């Protein structure tokens, strides 16, 4: 059994094996070189590649192909075309040309463009990204050949997530090559890697269908906290229930067919919350794979009578879902975030480490921007971690190393001798790669040989945060190279001096304490670290001239593209808040109020009857209960009206405040009204019944 599964690994990918089987030898070699080194594709082989790819896909049952891309909606998009080509009356063949493979035209008018696309020119163009292999998506009646592509407007402005990501990879690659040359390293391949841990909730479809809020917004806008949720910590890493395990294994088998190395699965902190983590891969591929993971999770849930919720905060009062993005850079196959075995490798490690620290400190605002979104606002900056303040956690050992660089004296904790740490001459203490020293409250943590960015939300495309991270680190590396070039004298001594300056200038972003504590925002303010607590604040850095200059300098995003992203993000935020507010109002008025009114009138009638019958008992109870319900009913009325006014005024702050206020009333009523009549499935059912 397991043997057949492993044989099926990657079978739906136009992999090296498939390429060699379906393409002429020379064509295969050229294509593989393109895929490996990101070299531009030789146009003369496009037709041959397309023909082989089609034969392979048709063998998998494919009838159609699609350019698969990632528009700025945050999801993926596809438009299918059949291979079919009529050759005469009632005659047709299946054909797929190089032209069809390399580029496509898609009507872009319904994708967000943030003003980039003028109304008379609604065309968008897709362009093949040969560095991410084509694959087939199966469905009950066949399959579709999917070609990963970038998406841009008629004017060449990017309308997607992939294009700037690829550009940022180029920028970081160039900067790393420059730095490695400073260390006299031979030219080698730079590989940026990502391992994205995907958190999600799984709920029974029957409950989901009875919750218009979940259906329409992905989160519950009402719902009282159940007596027991996650306080006992009994779900985290707990035994996985059979129905969930069946779902998980189906997900994994599908992912393995798609060549996605799904590796880890477990229960998360909140009830009904789970995590799937694949093995890390080349960043661009890992981003595509994460998009597919989300899709497979959703689809497999559906076929199992479940619903996979990828929203960052489906349930108030229980943990939200993130997408931890584990990032590192390797040079010639060696991870640069691993302290090395010799002084030179250590010096490289420290330089890259400080480049990252500098980047995060200097560009915290734009990194925070990359995680902005209505859903993520309920995690970042709310009573949950990671906080909206970007800081770095390094761990005791590295903090001690920074101490000794900063002071110029050796203060190693473990068996360190006194004296100066000489960068490029001394070796570093061995850093533990275990998980004991981890600080789970930090948004950006060094975890042994990689950085783990924990702020991205569970529904977000990783490309956004990784594109920013690559760009700001490239800028830092270049700044370091500039400085080194301007310095005369001994390289190691110069580097030592530079690193010392960097530690002094940027150490404020390093924070080892509890990121959830109420003191941290105050402390962070003293350190001058930005605290961008909601989406509008977090999007603002896109319009900052310094950030625009930075992204233009690296050719990652133009000014127009930055401003259009601001507009799209802002619009998306306002729309989401508005939809949530409208759904709240509708549920409160048309589902909750009738039930409360009905119960109230029954109680009031019973009370009147009890009084007129001169009953000795029950009058107190009925009076108390009907008063509470009556007050709740009045409250509901007032708060619905207030929310309606806020909706009419179109002010999102007022809408959020009115929505939260209404929620308090509704959640209180939920605990008062006859359980059998409450119109919405409750948290204790949704979160615990699988
Ligand atoms: P956790 O953070 O849950 O303890 P792990 O340490 O197992 O998890 O790693 C989480 C993710 O980090 C996995 O996807 C793993 O493949 C990835 N990862 C490990 N090493 C690297 C690396 N060098 N670059 C990028 N991601 C990595
Ligand atoms: Mg993790």
Domain-located, residue 563: no
- Claim to verify: residue 385 and residue 455 sit in the same structural domain: yes
- Claim to verify: residue 53 and residue 113 sit in the same structural domain: yes
Q: Are 603 and 623 in contact (CB under 8 A)?
A: no
Q: What is the span of the domain harbouring residue 588?
A: 575-686
**326 touches ligand 1 (CB under 6 Å):** yes
Q: Are 107 and 122 in contact (CB under 8 A)?
A: yes
DSSP conformational letter for 322: B
pLDDT in tens, 453-487: 999 999 999 999 999 999 999 999 999 999 999 99
What percentage of the chain has pLDDT greater than the value 90? Answer: 78
- Claim to verify: residue 83 and residue 208 sit in the same structural domain: no
Average pLDDT over every residue of 508-512: 96
Report the b/e string of 630-664 with b at 16+ CB within 10 A: bebbebbbebbebbeebbeeeebebbbebbebbbe
Q: Please determine, for residue 497, whether its predicted confidence score (pLDDT) is greater than 70.
A: yes
- Claim to verify: residue 122 and residue 186 sit in the same structural domain: no
CATH classification at residue 682: 1.20.120.1560
**338 touches ligand 1 (CB under 6 Å):** no
**450 touches ligand 1 (CB under 6 Å):** yes
The atom number, within ligand 1, closest to the CA of 277 reads 14
Last residue of a domain, one of 504, 530, 557: 557
Among candidate residues 384, 114, 373, 385, the one with its CA nearest the CA of residue 218: 373
pLDDT of residue 118: 57
Considering every ligand atom shown, identify the ligand nearest to the alpha carbon of residue 286 and give its number.
1
Last residue of a domain, one of 134, 159, 184: 159
- Of the ranges 64-78, 116-130, 264-278, which one carries the lowest mean pLDDT score? 116-130
**280 touches ligand 1 (CB under 6 Å):** yes
Look up residue 262 and give its two tokens: 């799904």
Average pLDDT over every residue of 3-23: 91
CA distance 361 to 320: 26
Identify which of 196, 450, 465, 466 to mutate to test ligand 1's pocket (most ligand atoms within 8 A of the CB): 450
CA distance 480 to 498: 8
Q: Are 250 and 225 in contact (CB under 8 A)?
A: no
Q: Please determine, for residue 436, whether its predicted confidence score (pLDDT) is greater than 50.
A: no
Name the most confidently modeled range: 202-206, 514-518, 685-689.
Answer: 202-206
- Of the ranges 136-140, 410-414, 503-507, which one carries the lowest mean pLDDT score? 410-414
Average pLDDT over every residue of 629-638: 98
Q: Are 203 and 272 in contact (CB under 8 A)?
A: yes
Average pLDDT over every residue of 337-342: 88
Q: Please determine, for residue 294, whether its predicted confidence score (pLDDT) is greater than 80.
A: yes
- Claim to verify: residue 154 and residue 183 sit in the same structural domain: no
Last residue of a domain, one of 159, 189, 208: 159
pLDDT of residue 354: 98
- Claim to verify: residue 258 and residue 404 sit in the same structural domain: yes
More confident residue, 64 or 381: 64
Q: Are 199 and 321 in contact (CB under 8 A)?
A: yes
- Claim to verify: residue 675 and residue 649 sit in the same structural domain: yes
pLDDT of residue 417: 46
**279 touches ligand 1 (CB under 6 Å):** yes
More confident residue, 261 or 114: 261
Q: Please determine, for residue 149, whether its predicted confidence score (pLDDT) is greater than 60.
A: yes
**435 touches ligand 1 (CB under 6 Å):** yes
Considering every ligand atom shown, identify the ligand nearest to the alpha carbon of residue 462 and give its number.
1
pLDDT in tens, 580-603: 999 999 999 999 999 999 999 999
Report the b/e string of 351-382 with b at 16+ CB within 10 A: bbbbbbbbbbbbbbbbbbbbbbbbbbbbbbbb
Q: Please determine, for residue 35, whether its predicted confidence score (pLDDT) is greater than 80.
A: yes
CATH classification at residue 282: 3.30.590.10
CA distance 248 to 300: 9
Q: Please determine, for residue 430, whether its predicted confidence score (pLDDT) is greater than 70.
A: no
Average pLDDT over every residue of 428-440: 62
- Of the ranges 339-343, 402-406, 659-663, which one carries the lowest mean pLDDT score? 339-343
More confident residue, 517 or 53: 53
pLDDT of residue 416: 46
Categorize the per-residue pLDDT at 121 as very low, low, confident or very high, splitting at 50, 70 and 90.
Answer: low
Considering every ligand atom shown, identify the ligand nearest to the alpha carbon of residue 451 and give its number.
1
Domain-located, residue 562: no
Specify the residue with its C-alpha closest to ligand 1, atom 4.
Answer: 435
| pTM for the model | 0.95
Look up residue 234 and give its two tokens: 């009994």
pLDDT in tens, 341-395: 888 899 999 999 999 999 999 999 999 999 999 999 999 877 666 789 999 999 9
Q: What is the mean pLDDT of the chain?
A: 92
Whole-number Å distance, alpha carbon 248 to ligand 2 midpoint, is: 19
Average pLDDT over every residue of 319-343: 94
State phi, psi for 255 to the nearest 5 degrees: -65, -40
Domain-located, residue 191: yes
Q: Please determine, for residue 522, whether its predicted confidence score (pLDDT) is greater than 60.
A: yes
**195 touches ligand 1 (CB under 6 Å):** yes
pLDDT in tens, 545-556: 999 999 999 999
Q: Are 347 and 492 in contact (CB under 8 A)?
A: yes
Look up residue 381 and give its two tokens: 């900056």
What percentage of the chain has pLDDT greater than the value 70? Answer: 95
pLDDT of residue 432: 60
Among candidate residues 77, 80, 50, the one with its CA nearest the CA of residue 63: 80
**197 touches ligand 1 (CB under 6 Å):** yes
CA distance 340 to 347: 8
**328 touches ligand 1 (CB under 6 Å):** yes
- Claim to verify: residue 545 and residue 590 sit in the same structural domain: no
Domain-located, residue 181: yes
Domain-located, residue 284: yes
Residue with structure tokens 């402005």?
157
Domain-located, residue 568: no
The atom number, within ligand 1, closest to the CA of 195 reads 14
Q: Please determine, for residue 431, whether its predicted confidence score (pLDDT) is greater than 70.
A: no
Average pLDDT over every residue of 69-88: 93
- Claim to verify: residue 343 and residue 324 sit in the same structural domain: yes
pLDDT in tens, 558-567: 999 999 999 9
Specify the residue with its C-alpha closest to ligand 1, atom 24.
Answer: 328
pLDDT of residue 433: 61
- Claim to verify: residue 228 and residue 362 sit in the same structural domain: yes
**323 touches ligand 1 (CB under 6 Å):** no
pLDDT of residue 607: 95
Q: Please determine, for residue 414, whether its predicted confidence score (pLDDT) is greater than 50.
A: no
- Claim to verify: residue 127 and residue 227 sit in the same structural domain: no
Whole-number Å distance, alpha carbon 454 to ligand 2 midpoint, is: 8
Domain-located, residue 341: yes
Give the total number of structural domains in the chain.
3
The atom number, within ligand 1, closest to the CA of 264 reads 7
Domain-located, residue 569: no
CA distance 171 to 624: 69
CA distance 498 to 489: 13
Q: Please determine, for residue 441, whether its predicted confidence score (pLDDT) is greater than 70.
A: yes
pLDDT of residue 359: 98
Q: Please determine, for residue 412, whether its predicted confidence score (pLDDT) is greater than 60.
A: no
- Claim to verify: residue 317 and residue 436 sit in the same structural domain: yes
- Of the ranges 39-48, 61-70, 627-636, which one carries the lowest mean pLDDT score? 39-48
Q: Please determine, for residue 526, whether its predicted confidence score (pLDDT) is greater than 70.
A: yes
């Amino acid at each position: 059994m397991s043997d057949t599964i492993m044989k099926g690994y990657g079978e739906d990918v136009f992999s090296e094996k498939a390429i060699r089987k379906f393409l002429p030898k020379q064509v295969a070699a050229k294509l593989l070189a393109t895929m490996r080194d990101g070299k531009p594709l030789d146009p003369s082989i496009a037709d041959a590649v397309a023909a082989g790819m089609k034969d392979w896909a048709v063998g998998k049952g494919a009838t159609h192909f699609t350019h698969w891309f990632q528009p700025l909606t945050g999801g993926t998009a596809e438009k299918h075309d059949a291979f079919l080509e009529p050759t005469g009356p009632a005659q047709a063949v299946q054909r797929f040309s190089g032209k069809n493979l390399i580029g496509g035209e898609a009507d872009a008018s319904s994708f967000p463009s943030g003003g980039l696309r003028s109304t008379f020119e609604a065309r968008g163009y897709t362009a093949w990204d040969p560095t991410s292999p084509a694959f087939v998506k199966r469905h009950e009646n066949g399959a579709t050949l999917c070609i990963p592509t970038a998406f841009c407007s008629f004017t060449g402005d990017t309308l997607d997530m992939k294009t700037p990501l690829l550009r940022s990879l180029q920028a970081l690659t160039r900067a790393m090559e420059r730095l490695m040359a400073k260390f006299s390293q031979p030219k080698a391949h730079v590989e940026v890697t990502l391992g994205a841990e995907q958190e999600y909730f799984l709920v029974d479809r029957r409950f989901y269908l009875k919750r218009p809020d979940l259906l329409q917004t992905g989160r519950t806008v009402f719902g009282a906290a159940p007596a027991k949720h996650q306080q006992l910590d009994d779900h985290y890493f707990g035994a996985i229930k059979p129905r969930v395990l069946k779902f998980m294994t189906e997900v994994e088998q599908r992912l393995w067919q798609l060549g996605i190395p799904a590796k880890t699965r477990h229960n998360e902190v909140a009830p009904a919350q789970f995590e799937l983590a694949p093995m890390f891969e080349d960043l661009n591929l890992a981003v595509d794979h994460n998009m597919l993971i989300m899709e497979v999770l959703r689809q497999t849930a559906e076929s199992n009578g479940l619903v996979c919720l990828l929203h960052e905060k489906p349930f108030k009062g229980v943990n939200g879902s993130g997408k931890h993005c584990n990032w590192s850079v390797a040079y010639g196959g060696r991870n640069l975030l691993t302290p090395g075995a010799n002084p030179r490798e250590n010096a490289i490690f420290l330089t890259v480490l400080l480049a990252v620290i500098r980047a995060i400190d200097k560009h915290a605002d734009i990194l925070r921007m990359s995680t902005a979104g209505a859903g993520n606002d309920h995690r970042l900056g709310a009573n949950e971690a990671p906080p909206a303040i970007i800081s770095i956690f390094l761990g005791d050992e590295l903090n001690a190393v920074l101490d000794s660089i900063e002071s110029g004296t050796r203060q190693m904790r473990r068996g360190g001798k006194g004296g100066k740490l000489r960068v490029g001459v001394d070796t570093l203490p061995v850093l533990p790669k275990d998980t004991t020293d981890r600080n789970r409250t930090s948004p950006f943590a060094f975890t042994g040989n990689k950085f783990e960015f924990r702020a991205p939300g569970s529904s977000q495309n990783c490309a956004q945060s990784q594109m920013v991270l690559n760009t700001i680190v490239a800028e830092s590396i270049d700044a370091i190279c500039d400085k080194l070039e301007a310095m005369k004298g001994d390289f190691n001594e110069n580097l030592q001096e530079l690193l010392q300056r960097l530690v002094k200038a940027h150490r404020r972003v390093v924070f080892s304490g509890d990121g959830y504590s109420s003191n941290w925002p105050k402390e962070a303010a003293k350190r001058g670290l930005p605290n961008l607590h909601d989406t509008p604040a977090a999007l603002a850095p896109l319009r900052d001239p310094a950030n625009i200059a930075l992204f233009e300098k690296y050719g990652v995003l133009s000014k127009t593209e930055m401003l259009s992203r601001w507009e799209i993000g802002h619009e998306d935020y306002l729309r989401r808040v508005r939809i949530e507010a409208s759904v709240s109002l509708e549920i409160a008025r048309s589902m909750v109020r009738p039930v409360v009114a009905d119960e109230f009138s029954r109680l009031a009638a019973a009370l009147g009857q009890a009084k007129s019958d001169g009953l000795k008992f029950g009058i107190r109870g009925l009076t108390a209960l009907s008063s509470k319900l009556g007050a709740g009913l009045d409250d509901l009325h007032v708060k619905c009206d207030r929310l309606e006014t806020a909706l009419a005024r179109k002010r999102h702050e007022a809408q959020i405040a009115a929505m939260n206020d209404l929620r308090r009333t509704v959640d209180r009523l939920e605990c008062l009204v006859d359980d059998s009549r409450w119109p919405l499935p409750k948290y204790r059912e949704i979160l615990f019944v699988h």
